[in-house]
Structure 1
Amino acid sequence: MKTEKLTAADVEQAAAILARGGLLGIPTETVYGLGANGLDPEAVAHIFEAKGRPQDNPLILHVPSAEWLERYCQHIPNAAYTLAERFWPGPLTMILERKPVVPDVVTAGLDTVGMRCPAHPVCRAIIAAAGVPVAAPSGNTSGRPSPTNMADMLEDMEGKIDGIVDGGPCSVGVESTIIDLTEQPPRLLRPGGVTLEELRDALGEVAVDPAVTRLMGAGEHPRAPGMKYRHYAPKAPVTVVKGDAAATAAYIQAHLGEGEGVVCFDEYADLYAGHTVEKLGPTADKAAQARNVFDALRAFDDTNVTAIWSQCPDEGGIGLAISNRLNKAAGFHIIDLT
């Protein structure tokens, strides 16, 4: 299969790929997604094939506006419209009760579905032109770091998908926040660009699912993407060191072995001369860290490093999402100096 490279001006061509049941790489503000017609079970099944994705890992339906919610969801709580008014378009996915029109392959057989309205205008234009919701996980081989630009996605998906739209680099850099609105209190299933603090400001009490900070067990069933499996991982094993930035930098320096690499805050890069170093961003700039974290992890796959050490921000704000991605990349192999 030849993968057609499209530009932001090629909205109708991109929509036609979706309408005929093809696979399309789509830009969003979070990461690049691997999209298919979310109402076509055969097209959605090809997403799992292209990614090598486990069948029990549900997908998210992307829509161009909150007005589409009632087409695919039922018993929608007022909280959904409260969040949509405040955070949509944007990096927030809401778990709601699905209507029968949503295929089982999208939801992994669950009676709920994740709904999101992305902020990237090209993405919304493509969905609107196609006239169908777009089921789309991140556009990487399952388990690898998510792509935040077209080149990274093509590295994994060239020849496996019908087309990809170049919408430029992603502005957020980590996947959307996922909140389950079918429970009381609402439950955070995956941290992302909309922070836990913002959700609580909008809704009041919001619980945090244990899977945010630990691996799910073999018998547990994921309610949302990214909960159960090792994700975002480069080829070399990762160890995350948590705590005060200066202390974690010193710990890594003291334990760093020959041939090992480092992901660190910009201020500490000079400590690791002779080693492959990827900068996460300034210590105080979590937005930059979110944009850089997947690129930093993915970059090591072009090197011969045997192991990777990584600093980690605290869990305030979007730091919770960055920490979650690093911890999953490490298989929750964490050294906590706090």
Structure 2
Amino acid sequence: MHTRIIKANPENPSPDAVREGSEIIKRGGLVVFPTETVYGLGANALNSDACGRIYQAKGRPSDNPLIVHISSMDMIWKVAENVPESIIEKINELWPGPLTLLLRKSSQIPLKVTGGSEYIAVRMPDCKLALDLITMSGVPLAAPSANVSGRPSIVNGLDALTYLEGKVDLIYDSGNTRYGLESTILDVSGKVPVLLRPGSYGIEFLEKYFGKITLLETLKISERRDIPITPGMKYRHYSPDKPLYLVDNPAIMNDIADGKYGENISLIAPEELCRKSKVPCVSLGDGSDLNIVASRLFQALNAVDHTEGSVAFAPTFPLNGIGLAIMNRLTKASISTISDGKQVITVIEKGSNFHHSENPDKMN
């Protein structure tokens, strides 16, 4: 398959550029497009065969659900049913934006989209190119992140070429996304809202609209069913090929950066630590601004594989606000969290013999 690249302004796309993508969607093809969060790999959400090609292109497990994107509130009734009026009022204030809601799916949505679940994850992206593409296609788009399953999500269109060239019909080259982190996923299908995946909209912000929100450990299977009901609940992902460990001791992170444990090491860290590091260090930007850290996280996870060193280390971050989302991604991307020098020495010794496939929890 030949993959066409189109350069397009995400907030002022040309009608011709949008039309080309929409024609591909209409005939059952695959299009990589930007949103305000990450790039999506999109197909007609009402076409089971087209959605099957998403799983094939990504190497994604068939029971890992896809998020469905809509461009208007009228379209929500194509993908969901029995949505309470109280929920409609809230999402009218919050959409478009980086918030995905778990609702009961409509009969028009194939079970392939939901991984066999009767629930569907839905959102309205805050990106004009994405909205125009959906509107011109005339159908909702099923669109997980545009990466190979298990690897860091894509926040720049050209990076999608690394994974998907020859596997998709079209990739929009629209530069970096605004947030650089996937949407928050909130289950509003029951009596009490449950946070299934943290994102740019934190619990503190969402509780202003939905009241008390319960936090669910997103790696667990839903208690309601024996299958995952939303993306990211069963399989580990975001992982670089290089073994990554989190360090929850700032003093140890400083010692690693100072070269105390040798130079066969890489770091992912805030700019202030990278500036003085004696080992290769991929910058997350100003560590005092977690929104910047979040926006650079996936690019850093990709970049660390291109640095020297057999093992990589990253710090932990506070769990309030967007810090919860950052730690959710880092925890999934890493093997474990360590806190003392002896553990550092142990994992470095293991690092040179590490093979990504040896970690059974990281499903690609």
Taking structure 1 as the reference length, the TM-score comes to 0.93
TM-superposed deviation, 1:148: 0.4
Aligned mate of 1:231, from 223, 233, 237: 237
Does residue 334 (structure 1) correspond to residue 337 (structure 2)? The answer is yes
CA distance in 2, matches of 1:169, 1:238: 24
**What residue number does 2:272 align with?**
267
SS at match of 1:310: strand
The one-character-per-residue Cα deviations of 1:61-112 (angstroms, maximum 9, x if unpaired) are: 1000222112221110234324322221111100000111100100011111
Q: Which amino acid aligns with 1:223?
A: I
Structure 1 gap segments, 5+ residues each: none
Q: Which amino acid aligns with 1:96?
A: L
Does residue 11 (structure 1) correspond to residue 15 (structure 2)? The answer is no
Does residue 297 (structure 1) correspond to residue 301 (structure 2)? The answer is yes
How many pairs were matched up?
Answer: 330
CA distance in 2, matches of 1:153, 1:23: 13
Does residue 288 (structure 1) correspond to residue 292 (structure 2)? The answer is yes
The 8 Å contact of residues 266 and 308 in structure 2, kept in 1 or not, is answered as no
Does residue 160 (structure 1) correspond to residue 164 (structure 2)? The answer is no
Change (3 A) 1:215 1:312: farther
SS at match of 1:263: strand
Does residue 30 (structure 1) correspond to residue 30 (structure 2)? The answer is no
**What residue number does 1:222 align with?**
228
CA distance in 2, matches of 1:256, 1:184: 51
The Cα RMSD (Å) is 1.9
The 8 Å contact of residues 150 and 168 in structure 1, kept in 2 or not, is answered as yes
CA distance in 1, matches of 2:297, 2:243: 15
SS at match of 1:272: coil
CA distance in 2, matches of 1:45, 1:311: 37
CA distance in 2, matches of 1:252, 1:77: 52
TM-superposed deviation, 1:216: 5.9
Change (3 A) 1:310 1:68: same
Aligned mate of 2:84, from 56, 61, 77: 77
SS at match of 2:284: strand
Change (3 A) 1:128 1:197: same
**What residue number does 2:95 align with?**
88
Change (3 A) 1:80 1:335: farther
**What residue number does 1:106 align with?**
113
**What residue number does 1:2 align with?**
2
**What residue number does 2:280 align with?**
276
**What residue number does 2:310 align with?**
306
Structure 2 gap segments, 5+ residues each: 9-13, 341-364
**What residue number does 2:57 align with?**
50
CA distance in 2, matches of 1:304, 1:262: 10
Taking structure 2 as the reference length, the TM-score comes to 0.86
**What residue number does 2:178 align with?**
171
**Farther-moved stretch of structure 1 (109-118 vs 251-260):** 251-260
CA distance in 2, matches of 1:281, 1:323: 16
1:94-243 correspondence runs (5 A):
94-211=101-218, 221-242=227-248
The 8 Å contact of residues 67 and 143 in structure 2, kept in 1 or not, is answered as yes
CA distance in 1, matches of 2:310, 2:169: 35
CA distance in 1, matches of 2:90, 2:305: 38
Question: Alignment identity in percent?
Answer: 38
CA distance in 2, matches of 1:121, 1:285: 27
